[in-house]
Amino acid sequence: MIQTLSIDGHQIVAKRLNPMTTLGHPTFLLHGIGGSVDFWSDDQTQIFQEQGPCYAMSLPGHYPATFPIGFRKEQITATLIVELIAKAIHELVGDHPVTLAGLSTGGFTALALAAQAPQIVSRVISISGFHHGKWSGWLGFFQKLVRGGRIGQGLFKYIYRRPNLTKVGFNRQWFIYANDIKAMYAYPHFRSATDLSYDNFMKLDLENMIMYFTVMPNINIREWLPHISAPMLVIAGDHDPIIPPAQARLIQKMIPHAELEMIRGGGHMLFAERPLEYQHALRHWLKHH
């Protein structure tokens, strides 16, 4: 079930992943940059659906979510993202505290929410997340491109979503996120995850992505981290090509009672590169919190 929420001129989208009759503790899943509510395939969400009502929520400006007309890149701040997601969560579950689980930029968003809106957060799981939005690898290259003016932004659009990109081509370009590329593509559910994401990716507003890639290197919530009081699990790969593992270690160090699961040989896509270790870490932590 898809719900579109009007929040301060933004359209935020939430997708209910289990039946409306499901009882228990609510969980909200937050995707990464360029993703959508359709990123979360069943193999990734089963463990969260067992906890209670489970929603995938869009980041602002990520299709089918939209920015208001006339929105400017200067308006993208950690505070704005927190305010929009917090209000959207409240519309869906009221004052009930929730579990936040986010991948990459979704992990960053979960951290920011836990720091700035602690009243709505009972548990936090940051998966390949970060406190500072200066990325490495291909995403770091894209950040440099979009800051290079019109030529760089034109190249970004062409590389990031090539014209006539097929599902097969879309699946192949995920190699940029992995350390263990062979393991990722061998994971039996990986193709279903990328196929689910394809349609929304092809409708993604690339001008919105240019704004994000331009602004994120300037966003750093390190000073917010000590204010997080909710139990936290930080999961990271020790060979993540996008987010330096040092970020995960610093997050764990600065947040009281945070637990770090550093997965050997893992890159950015841990659910597919190291599925057994990833699932074990989630289940063990959720069981004890």
Residue closest to 270 by CA, chosen among 233, 232, 246, 239: 239
Average pLDDT, the chain: 96
For the cut 90, the answer to whether the pLDDT of residue 135 exceeds it is: yes
> Alpha-carbon distance 212 to 226, whole Å?
25
Residues 6+ apart with CB under 8 A from 248: 126, 129, 234, 235, 236, 260, 262
Residue closest to 279 by CA, chosen among 211, 173, 210, 187: 187
Task: Return the biggest CA–CA distance within the chain.
Answer: 52
Please state which architecture CATH assigns to domain 2-288: 3-Layer(aba) Sandwich (3.40)
pLDDT in the model for residue 1: 87
Confidence band for 100, pLDDT divided at 50, 70 and 90? very high
Confidence band for 35, pLDDT divided at 50, 70 and 90? very high
Give the chain's length: 289
User: Could you state, in order of their start, the residue ranges of all structural domains in the chain?
Assistant: 2-288
β-sheet with 54-57: strand ranges across: 2-7, 10-16, 54-57, 27-30, 98-103, 121-127, 232-237, 258-263
pLDDT tens readout for residues 229-251 = 999 999 999 999 999 999 999 99
Confidence band for 163, pLDDT divided at 50, 70 and 90? confident
Q: What is the pTM for the complete model shown?
A: 0.97
> Alpha-carbon distance 97 to 93, whole Å?
8
pLDDT tens readout for residues 13-33 = 999 999 888 889 999 999 999
